[in-house]
Amino acid sequence: MAITQIIRCSIEASKVDRNLFYKAPKSGKIYFNFSVLLKDEKGKYGDDGMIIQNSGDPNVKGEILGNAKIVERNGQQQQQQQQAAPQAKKASNGWDEPVDDIPF
């Protein structure tokens, strides 16, 4: 199996509806369903799409949880568009310190 795309995703964990987690009857493992919606054009911050949680009802659009960015397509890393995408601010903890306020 050849990998044709790598999509890097980021979600805001506090927006995840914990009521949508479910346990598989056979394995007992817990799952959460979400969808990645890819757009034709890059967004304001260089993203290629968004992540939404699946609500269980196909007629209801789930809440947007975060963004998705294609980082590799057909073995070729995507060119970074530094001019078009503003730099993201570094978190106040610098990402090196542990985060204790994760909502799970």
CA–CA–CA angle 51, 53, 55 (5° rounding): 150
> Is the C-alpha dihedral spanning 56, 60, 63, 68 positive or negative?
positive
Would you state the pLDDT for residue 102?
A: 60
- Asked if residue 30 lies in contact with residue 80, where contact means CB atoms within 8 angstroms, the answer is no
* Residues listed for the chain: 104
Per the confidence metrics, is the pTM higher than 0.85? no
* Domain ranges, ordered by start, for the chain: 5-77
Confidence of residue 76 (pLDDT cuts 50, 70, 90): low
Would you state the pLDDT for residue 50?
A: 94
Would you state the pLDDT for residue 52?
A: 94
- Asked if residue 10 lies in contact with residue 66, where contact means CB atoms within 8 angstroms, the answer is yes
Amino acid at 94: G
> Is the C-alpha dihedral spanning 73, 82, 68, 90 positive or negative?
positive
Would you state the pLDDT for residue 82?
A: 38
Would you state the pLDDT for residue 60?
A: 83
pLDDT mean across residues, the chain: 79
Q: Which two tokens stand for residue 63?
A: 């809440």
pLDDT in tens, 38-65: 999 999 889 999 999 998 787 888 899 9
